[in-house]
Amino acid sequence: MTAFPERRLRRLRATPALRRLVAETDLAPRHLVLPVFVKEGIEVAQPIATMPGVHQHPLADLPAVVEEAAAAGVGGVMLFGVPAVRDAVGSGATDPDGILNRAIAVAAEAAAGRLTVQADLCLDEFTDHGHCGVLAADGSVDNDATLEVYARMAVAQADAGADILGLSGMMDGQVRAVRAALDAVGHSRVAILAYAAKYASAFYGPFRDAVESTLDGDRRTYQLDPANGREGVQEALVDADEGADVVMVKPAGPYLDVLARVADVSPVPVWAYQVSGEYAMIEHAAAAGLIDRDRAVVETLLGIRRAGAETILTYWAVEVAQRLRAGEVRA
């Protein structure tokens, strides 16, 4: 007699309805946040060559961008400013009339509470040297002097109407410094998203085109070594202890192991950023006919969710949210 398998696990894969019924991981519009680049001094949106489908937007376009995201049901927009003028200390970041702070105010009014307005809190887009902090006399990034600027930047962003501040600079003590500055002026409601495990990654290349980075050198003295996983978990726990409301792992795809480890132990929500290089690889591979673009996009997002991310920053946020709402993607 033929010995048949005792367990037939394929039974629950037999039909779309069965697969949907037993799916362990879901994906919904609310799980997605759209990064948005707002550039000073332009009148029409400018395409970013290394990121097909992504643009630098003029301030006047921002209400329409926010409206589309809100209509799609995404959880928020993360704003990045591209200033016309930069200096050694990133003064445009703390100026209430700086491009990012103006963008926050415009986005907050357009959102009207339908999605969260998030702002990148870092100096790299505003400094003429491209580093995430102010420099000491020897050319190194001065951690504690940078914290003083971050505190002022946080207050300016909160005054402009941001719901969540994305602390992406990887300075030691940044969460504690920003939380104290916010609370001191009555902004206790403003949440902190700590880029806790942010790695010194090659996958940021297209993003640097998007913000027109002036960086000469690298950020390895403050961003994490790609070889280290335990250190990423430690960073997340420190940030949570200092008062972060959410911690994040960045990039997402190459660091799913770190994401899973952080998610297992974090006392606060855990997010991930599917960065520009991850986006560009799929777009360019699909354009070359090498992969099924739509399936690959959703598969990567499900993988990030499966690893433990409760929310994902992704340049496909609106597109995927629209597909989900239209029933084109399994929710």
DSSP 45: -
pLDDT of residue 3: 77
Residue with tokens 């009555």: 186
pLDDT of residue 216: 80
H/E stretch holding 263: helix 256-265
Residues serving a catalytic function are 198, 250
What is the β-pairing status of strands 46-47 and 55-57?
Answer: antiparallel
pLDDT-flagged residues of the chain (< 50): none
Contacts of residue 245, Cβ cutoff 8 Å, sequence gap at least 6: 164, 191, 192, 193, 268, 269
**327 in the Ramachandran plot: left (φ > 0), alpha (ψ -120 to 50) or beta?**
left
pLDDT of residue 157: 98
How many CB atoms lie under 10 A from the CB of residue 58? 16
Between the alpha carbon of residue 253 and those of residues 77, 288, 312, the distances in Å are: 21, 21, 11
At 328 the pLDDT is: 87
In angstroms, the CA 152 to CA 96 distance is 10
Q: Domains (ranges, CATH) in the chain? A: 26-325 (3.20.20.70)
Q: Are 88 and 128 in contact (CB under 8 A)?
A: yes
Give the pLDDT score at 5. 83
β partners of residue 38? 57, 81
Confidence (pLDDT) at 329 = 80
pLDDT in tens, 65-99: 999 999 999 999 999 999 999 999 999 999 999 99
Residue 142: left if φ>0, alpha if ψ -120 to 50, beta else—which one?
beta
CB 173 within 8 A of CB 145: no
pLDDT score for 300: 98
Residue type present at position 264: D
DSSP structure string for 107-158:
HHHHHTTSSEEEEEE-STTTBSS--SS-B-TTSSB-HHHHHHHHHHHHHHHH
Q: CB atoms < 10 A from the CB of 87, how many?
A: 12
Whether the upstream peptide bond of residue 251 has omega within 30° of 0, thus cis, is yes
**Phi first, then psi: what are they for 69, rounded to 5°?**
-65, -45
The predicted pLDDT at position 330 comes to 66
pLDDT tens readout for residues 284-309: 999 999 999 999 999 999 999 999 99
